[in-house]
Structure 1
Amino acid sequence: MIKSIGSYFFPDLCSELVAGANVQPVTGDEVLDWESTSDDPQFSLGGVSLSGGWYMLELQLVHAAPSADARLYFDFGEGFSEEDSVFLPVKCNRVTKRLVYLPKRAKSIRFDPMESKGGFGVKHFRLVKLLTAFAMDRLIQRLVNMHDAFRDVSKTEAKRRVKLEAKSVGKPFLALALKYYNQTFERRRQTVDYQHWIDNQEASLFANARKAACGEEDWSPLVSVVVPTYNAKVRFLEECIDSVLAQSYQNWELCIADDCSTNPEVKECLSRYVEKDSRIKVAFREVNGHISSASNSALELVSGEFVALLDHDDVLSEEALSCVVGVLQENRNLKLIYSDEDKIDESGMRFEPHFKPDWNPDLLLSQNYICHLTVLARELVADVGGFRVGFEGSQDHDLLLRCVPHLDVSTVARIPLVLYHWRAMSGSTALEAQSKSYTSEAGVNAIQSYLDLNRIGGKVEFGKVPNTYRIRREIPEEEPLVSLLVPTRDGVDILKPCVNAILERTSYENFELLILDNQTTCAATLEYLADVVKDPRVSVHRWNHPFNYSAINNYGAELANGSIIGLINNDIEPINNDWLTEMVSQVVRPEIGCVGAKLYYPDDSIQHAGVILGIGGVAGHSHKYFNRHDFGYFSRLHLVQGLSAVTAACLLVRKPVFDAVNGLDEENLSVSFNDVDFCLKVREAGYQNLWTPYAELYHHESVSRGADDTIAKRQRAAAEARFMRDKWGHTLDQDPAYSPNLTLVHEDFSLA
């Protein structure tokens, strides 16, 4: 019997799934009850047909990977095709939705849940019939939130632009609107994506850089490229030198120091190049002294104003030095310039791009994120004493750290272009960080030396990932009082575990917990509040007004006795006992503003690892839904780092800083984005906001106020988003802790 969906919806289509090609049932597993045997598993929907019109597809899958790519095919009488399908990237165990438009009745439906082998489960799957007006409103809203072409415009303006373009190209409005809507869901595998990015975007980025540099040729500084070498593979050494010879910017010199190579072919190769170009200088060391000594020998050959560091088997982009000089011409006070980079294998294939943030001293103390390409003012290199013997393996990191006290945001520039290709070979750090364990040991020593030289109390440890580091910072002998503010209403089943966990699992002793009661009427909750104040650390304060997150916390801040304020949701549960110790050790630093924590959903997926501006139109959570143990983008899930904003679900800030920026905006941002706005105000006041992965807590998100699932709540959320766009504008699209080459659509650090 054919089942039709017309003016109603199937509450659950899971029961209609009929296994097709490359799918087989699994017995004994209540979660992963299906097995994909290839990269093309297929289901049919047991005779279900759909009338034409608009639908909302709702899908929830469980699978091993953090995400999967699902696709729904419709047969309108001519069989299944990619053209008549819709694509939906889904996060593991999360309900994902998208609009579906059918121009006419679909006779049959095929569902491909993923594009890989492995176990999976379909927990929720339904199609809801929609009114056209509602569907179009949702479509245009997504364009405004998620499509680069429609950012910073109203829904009315976005719709007008689509209509004008449709008319100019002779295409139906609906077809063009759907095209843009579908683009907001596009996701590609990283390797394919990067090659696509190289082929389609890199050339235009370099062209824009050249255009920006035009007319600024009154100053052409000499750039000295420094290369230490020892028994390099001649083929790769030649490619390295040839990449310098191929530079579009000509005012350079290449300063090479051979560290007494035992392979005579290396010396022969270098001698040939010296004869070939007078800009190439080579020092042949008579004693092998390792990379720091060799690098210093190369520095002795330098006569340029700026020093570029290049390893003997790596390759520069043809535009590398031109781009460097371009930014120098814009700001002659620069002392450090660095760029994005990628890796290159032995066959020349480029992969694993690293698109870096702007100047981020805390991230530099967690890993050498600057790495390649690094260009330094020669005078600065001389002032700090060049490379230090004894720090081999992290000699570049050590050099940068000794430069840090001489640098600030006005003297550092990041170039968001891939100017450096790091050779990845078996046994190299580029390919296998763990293959050179001495580099991590040298890194610990370099960072500890930095702390000691600058009289910063702290002990450096190995991080959770090779070549990453943790600093256990000291806190004042007289521990500052921390006032933890916990707004709540009813819901003792949520509040009690939160409060009890804080009281029982917090090793930092000097804190007070202020429960801000927002019109609780539940007898059980009131009974708990009356009982919990027996603990001298706890007090309860009544806020008898409609829910306003900002106003409640501002009220609590006025009552706080501590010099540090902690904004804490009532659905937070600490995991590690030293969570507050870690956050206090960071927030007491005079340069730091807000400090955020690492928050998990109850299923151990990431809820918050910092906030990235611009995602979804205003801001999104970094690495949302990643597994608790995932490394994240270049290990950033395990690194202390500066960020533009962090969530107020668990946020510490010094009370004078809170007061200086007038707290949270209770007039315009009563529920959403008040924490992002607050963090940006703190940043504008001259402080650096920071996120630490070493304060770990569970977060049962939005339990107290509920989700934005009513018309009134959605209207309020939309108004608050508009306020943020109006107030902060392009600031939201230029997050210095992110890269313009990364997406503002998804929260996974994928390519733009």
Structure 2
Amino acid sequence: MFGRLMPPLRRIVRSASTMRPVGTKDDRRDRADGPALKGAATTFGANPVRWLAARGRAAPHVLRADKLRDAGDSVSAAHAYEAALRIDPGRTNLKVQCGNMYKDAGVLDAALRWYESALEDRPDDADIHLQVGHALKLAGRRSEALAAYRRVLALDPANRHASWELVQAGDVDEQLRGISAQTTGHGLETMLSMAAEIEAMRRKLAEIGAALPDISSLTAFPAKAYRHFRQIFDVPSPASLDLPSELPHLFVVADASGLDASALHRLLASIVGQSATRWRAVVLNVEPTLLVAVERLARTDDRLEAVPAAREGSGRTAVLDLVREVETDAVVFLPPGAAMHRHCLAWLAAGFAGSQADVLTFDEEWVVPGEGEPSSFEARGGLDPEMLLQENSWGEAIAVRKATFDRLDLDGDDAAPLPKPSALLLAAVRADASPGHVPYPLVAFEGDENARNIARRNALPDHRQAVERHLRLCGLRERVAVSGGTDGEPLHLEWQAGLPREQITVIVPTRDNAEDCAGFVDSLFAKASRPEALRILIVDNATTARSDLGGLEALAGRKGVRILRDDGPFNWSHINNLAAATSDTPILVFANDDMRMLSSAWDEMLRGLLARDSVGAVGAKLLYPDETMQHAGVLFGWKGSVIHDGLFEARDAPGPSGRWSKTRRVGAVTGAFMALRRADFLELDGFDAIGLPIGYSDIDLCLRLRAAGRDILWSPDVTLLHYESKSRGLDHLDAERAARGGRERALVETRWGAEVFSRDPTISPIWIDATLPYRLISFPAPQRALEFIRLTSRARRAGTESAKSTVACE
């Protein structure tokens, strides 16, 4: 019988170049039999009969594997494919299928081994590299996953799957490449034309505009493509908003110090070109030779006047008197070089009319000299008094209600023509004024990036002077050590701890991870300013490995370390509540076991911040092993939920408005490292061990602290390396954990309401949440912008309106 089969087999071998193997769905992607025959030659020598016989013997295993795969039994399918490969090891497509099945089952090391074996056969197969990227992404190896996706695009530039993964990961180069490709293919023009038509229809349907999705989200641009973005999109008018028919009157005080003829004309054109009509403007310190430029316009518009530079009494005192005497609803201060957008005053009037804000800040943009379109921008969030002590990140152009301005303590010996912006904002903080933020660039400056950096450095000495006066007026000068403010760096404030130095207990749950836990404990003691006042309470949650039990026993013998045993199912909230109940130190720190402390004197920094009555909890900067950021506070409202701020950014990246380099208020901090007073923890009954046993209980506790009138702070002064979930693995790879995580997320969002999880006052709505934060931009719709003004004006205190932050006055 075998002899009768030989002629057909020879014919089959002779036609091998046109033959395609059969079997799994992925077999259709096999590159004909060229690579397969190459593998067969390696395995079976030059004998095609043995190759075909092996393929025949492997076929039942392949068929069985296909059925198991289609039934959803990934692990059994992987074993069946492996059985086929033991018989027919040259089947690259089966190696890929093994990788796919192990990937689906969450056995990622095995998946990657099979993908690597497949790549040895086909090193330039873009599809295999794509699967490698997916597996690395699931394993949390982000930088390697991105490298795999970039390799895919190098092999297959049109691969939309790899491109989308990079865009979702916030890869700026791929986002810019996408915009360039759309422009080249005329797809962008078509999309923008459609968006313009929809926008026109939307204006006609203004009464239901608030219920429509933002058209802007369909046309988001990479932040680095701001110049192209502004060539197409402009700041919208607030005319469609439902506001009182008579809007507030605005008094503009513009400083023309040092402006040449071109800059002065630019300023004047921006004033007289306003879409709002209820305003008056005075231009200070105009060079005498340029006064004619103002007078020429003032002949036909009596709302405009000028004060020459040489006029006696044109200093700050005279300006304050002028502003306090004028009849107006609000005052707008413009620094030298600022030119207003044509809707600037309209938006400021709308902001005051549509919210309870006493002070309005807004975004800025810059135009490179000689160019017409803005090339860069600064999108700010709501005013944070904590950040303001370190640097004024809200600009020099500020609007203030007249009634609020009249009660600000701005008198001093400073002879500048306008109140310094830092002094003005800090005076507003002392007066407990409510600051709102308009999320549009309402003023523009000329200058490149170097000019911006110079202006920022030049502002720091005045800012330090304003901060020191503020601390003195608030009676806080002895409690804060101020340093820095030179070489372009913001001020650094170190809050002093009380005496005697309070003891700190660090609570560390662990399971079968004694080596990492011991390394973490070592780093805590080594980096502490007062290691003798440090207590480490390790909660052993059912460790079984003999080596780890020995390691924990050794830890228990160390001074300042105690072991608490808990053998029940893992319940993060219960474990930490149990440990807190057995502690007696004034300060508690909840921490993961898979970390390393990097900051010296971290304990003293926490003592100082928690010595302030207004502070409820403090979080730290957490870094991945590749030294990119894992946590710089928690952002609310990102894709309707929460996300870590600063995720995957470089360790020393400052972030928008320097937010990752400054201690600041945040909505919440992660329980991977969270410090708070034990009294506050017990008063709020700790973590929710019933409703939120593992996830979101840290978010919930932060929200309860905020409801009690406490601030949640994040500080880069405490930085740790975090390996993330080494003890427990990753929740998304376990079905039960994933289901529990979804339930906990739904519970906490229901408990606190959709409003809390839909917006964050610290981040401008110009940032689009289609990818990681701070990657894509689009101007928000007018109604959403007004909602942000209202949100930020309400956010000066997270809890009771009567409570005052320590950074204001005690």
TM-score, normalised via structure 2 length? 0.69
Q: Per the alignment, do residues 185 and 466 of structure 1 end up closer, same or farther by CA in structure 2, a change over 3 Å counting? A: farther
Do the aligned partners of 2:623 and 2:630 also contact (CA within 8 Å) in 1? yes
Do the aligned partners of 2:638 and 2:769 also contact (CA within 8 Å) in 1? yes
How many angstroms apart in 1 are the aligned matches of 2:457 and 2:133?
52
Name structure 2 gaps, 5 residues minimum. Answer: 1-33, 37-91, 100-113, 178-215, 778-810
Deviation at 1:512, TM superposition (A): 2.0
Q: Per the alignment, do residues 718 and 238 of structure 1 end up closer, same or farther by CA in structure 2, a change over 3 Å counting? A: same
Q: 2:115 aligns with which of 4, 12, 19?
A: 12
Do the aligned partners of 2:365 and 2:444 also contact (CA within 8 Å) in 1? yes
2:284 is matched with 257
Is 1:575 matched with 2:678? no
Q: Per the alignment, do residues 187 and 584 of structure 1 end up closer, same or farther by CA in structure 2, a change over 3 Å counting? A: farther
How many angstroms apart in 2 are the aligned matches of 1:670 and 1:298?
61
Is 1:267 matched with 2:294? no
> What SS is found at the alignment partner of 1:221?
coil
Q: Per the alignment, do residues 17 and 640 of structure 1 end up closer, same or farther by CA in structure 2, a change over 3 Å counting? A: farther
Do the aligned partners of 1:359 and 1:414 also contact (CA within 8 Å) in 2? yes
1:541 is matched with 564
1:454 is matched with 474
> What SS is found at the alignment partner of 2:328?
coil
> What SS is found at the alignment partner of 2:291?
helix
How many angstroms apart in 2 are the aligned matches of 1:572 and 1:425?
41
Is 1:444 matched with 2:457? no
1:309 is matched with 333
Give me the identity figure in percent. Answer: 20
How many angstroms apart in 1 are the aligned matches of 2:642 and 2:449?
40
How many angstroms apart in 2 are the aligned matches of 1:91 and 1:703?
28
Q: 1:367 aligns with which of 391, 409, 412?
A: 391
How many angstroms apart in 2 are the aligned matches of 1:55 and 1:697?
30
**Can you list the C-alpha shifts for 1:103-122, whole angstroms capped at 9, x where unaligned?**
xxxxxxxxx99989xxxxxx
Q: Which moved more, 1:541-550 or 1:368-377?
A: 368-377
Aligned residue identity for 1:45: D
**Can you list the C-alpha shifts for 1:376-396, whole angstroms capped at 9, x where unaligned?**
123443431357517899921
How many angstroms apart in 1 are the aligned matches of 2:418 and 2:701?
41
Is 1:389 matched with 2:414? yes
How many angstroms apart in 2 are the aligned matches of 1:417 and 1:242?
20
Q: 1:87 aligns with which of 163, 174, 185?
A: 163
1:241 is matched with 268
Aligned residue identity for 1:468: P
Deviation at 1:481, TM superposition (A): 2.5
Q: Which moved more, 1:548-557 or 1:623-632?
A: 623-632
Is 1:642 matched with 2:665? yes
Do the aligned partners of 1:443 and 1:467 also contact (CA within 8 Å) in 2? no
Deviation at 1:230, TM superposition (A): 2.0
Q: Which moved more, 1:550-559 or 1:60-69?
A: 60-69
1:177 is matched with none
Deviation at 1:375, TM superposition (A): 0.6
Is 1:681 matched with 2:708? no
How many angstroms apart in 2 are the aligned matches of 1:49 and 1:691?
39
Q: Per the alignment, do residues 348 and 360 of structure 1 end up closer, same or farther by CA in structure 2, a change over 3 Å counting? A: same
Aligned residue identity for 2:729: G
Q: Per the alignment, do residues 670 and 436 of structure 1 end up closer, same or farther by CA in structure 2, a change over 3 Å counting? A: closer
> What SS is found at the alignment partner of 1:501?
helix
1:695 is matched with 718
Deviation at 1:254, TM superposition (A): 0.6
Aligned residue identity for 1:277: D
Q: How does 1:582-601 map to 2 (within 5 A)?
A: 582-601=605-624
Do the aligned partners of 2:335 and 2:396 also contact (CA within 8 Å) in 1? no
Q: 1:191 aligns with which of 224, 227, 232?
A: 224
Do the aligned partners of 1:507 and 1:578 also contact (CA within 8 Å) in 2? yes
Answer 1 or 2: which has greater helix percent. Answer: 2
Is 1:532 matched with 2:586? no
1:398 is matched with 423
Do the aligned partners of 1:222 and 1:305 also contact (CA within 8 Å) in 2? yes
Q: How does 1:76-475 map to 2 (within 5 A)?
A: 82=158, 86-90=162-166, 189-192=222-225, 195-196=228-229, 199=232, 206-207=236-237, 209-214=238-243, 216-218=244-246, 220-258=247-285, 261=287, 264-286=288-310, 296=320, 299=323, 302-331=326-355, 334-346=357-369, 347-371=371-395, 373-382=397-406, 383-385=408-410, 389=414, 395-408=420-433, 411-424=434-447, 428=451, 430=452, 433-434=453-454, 437-456=457-476, 457-462=479-484, 466=488, 468-475=490-497
Do the aligned partners of 2:615 and 2:710 also contact (CA within 8 Å) in 1? yes
Deviation at 1:496, TM superposition (A): 0.5
Answer 1 or 2: which has greater strand percent. Answer: 1
**Can you list the C-alpha shifts for 1:401-440, whole angstroms capped at 9, x where unaligned?**
12211125xx222222222223325864x3xx24664422
Do the aligned partners of 1:257 and 1:298 also contact (CA within 8 Å) in 2? no
Q: Per the alignment, do residues 443 and 90 of structure 1 end up closer, same or farther by CA in structure 2, a change over 3 Å counting? A: same
Deviation at 1:595, TM superposition (A): 0.7
Aligned residue identity for 2:248: P
Deviation at 1:521, TM superposition (A): 2.4
Is 1:481 matched with 2:509? no
> What SS is found at the alignment partner of 1:562?
coil
How many angstroms apart in 2 are the aligned matches of 1:67 and 1:367?
37
Do the aligned partners of 1:601 and 1:699 also contact (CA within 8 Å) in 2? yes
Deviation at 1:476, TM superposition (A): 0.8
Q: Which moved more, 1:495-504 or 1:666-675?
A: 666-675
Q: Per the alignment, do residues 354 and 290 of structure 1 end up closer, same or farther by CA in structure 2, a change over 3 Å counting? A: farther
How many angstroms apart in 2 are the aligned matches of 1:184 and 1:400?
33
1:626 is matched with 649
* Cα RMSD (Å): 4.0
Q: Per the alignment, do residues 95 and 188 of structure 1 end up closer, same or farther by CA in structure 2, a change over 3 Å counting? A: closer
TM-score, normalised via structure 1 length? 0.74
Q: Per the alignment, do residues 700 and 72 of structure 1 end up closer, same or farther by CA in structure 2, a change over 3 Å counting? A: closer
Do the aligned partners of 1:548 and 1:666 also contact (CA within 8 Å) in 2? yes
> What SS is found at the alignment partner of 1:366?
coil
> What SS is found at the alignment partner of 1:644?
coil
Q: Per the alignment, do residues 421 and 270 of structure 1 end up closer, same or farther by CA in structure 2, a change over 3 Å counting? A: same
Q: Which has the higher contact order (CA 8 A, sep 6+)?
A: 2
How many angstroms apart in 2 are the aligned matches of 1:16 and 1:230?
66
Do the aligned partners of 2:283 and 2:305 also contact (CA within 8 Å) in 1? yes
Q: Per the alignment, do residues 298 and 233 of structure 1 end up closer, same or farther by CA in structure 2, a change over 3 Å counting? A: farther
**Can you list the C-alpha shifts for 1:475-507, whole angstroms capped at 9, x where unaligned?**
112222222111112211111101111122211
**Can you list the C-alpha shifts for 1:284-312, whole angstroms capped at 9, x where unaligned?**
24269998578658747844231111124
Q: Per the alignment, do residues 186 and 266 of structure 1 end up closer, same or farther by CA in structure 2, a change over 3 Å counting? A: closer
How many angstroms apart in 2 are the aligned matches of 1:288 and 1:425?
35
> What SS is found at the alignment partner of 2:647?
coil
Q: 1:45 aligns with which of 122, 125, 135?
A: 125
How many angstroms apart in 2 are the aligned matches of 1:95 and 1:225?
40
Q: Per the alignment, do residues 407 and 312 of structure 1 end up closer, same or farther by CA in structure 2, a change over 3 Å counting? A: same
**Can you list the C-alpha shifts for 1:125-168, whole angstroms capped at 9, x where unaligned?**
xxxxxxxxxxxxxxxxxxxxxxxxxxxxxxxxxxxxxxxxxxxx
- Structure exhibiting the larger radius of gyration computed from Cα positions: 2
How many angstroms apart in 1 are the aligned matches of 2:403 and 2:775?
38
Aligned residue identity for 1:461: S
Do the aligned partners of 1:89 and 1:187 also contact (CA within 8 Å) in 2? no
**Can you list the C-alpha shifts for 1:352-386, whole angstroms capped at 9, x where unaligned?**
33222223111211221221541112344343135
Aligned residue identity for 2:492: R
**Can you list the C-alpha shifts for 1:192-229, whole angstroms capped at 9, x where unaligned?**
256437735x55xx35x432244x125x3321111112
**Can you list the C-alpha shifts for 1:178-198, whole angstroms capped at 9, x where unaligned?**
xxxxx9999964232564377
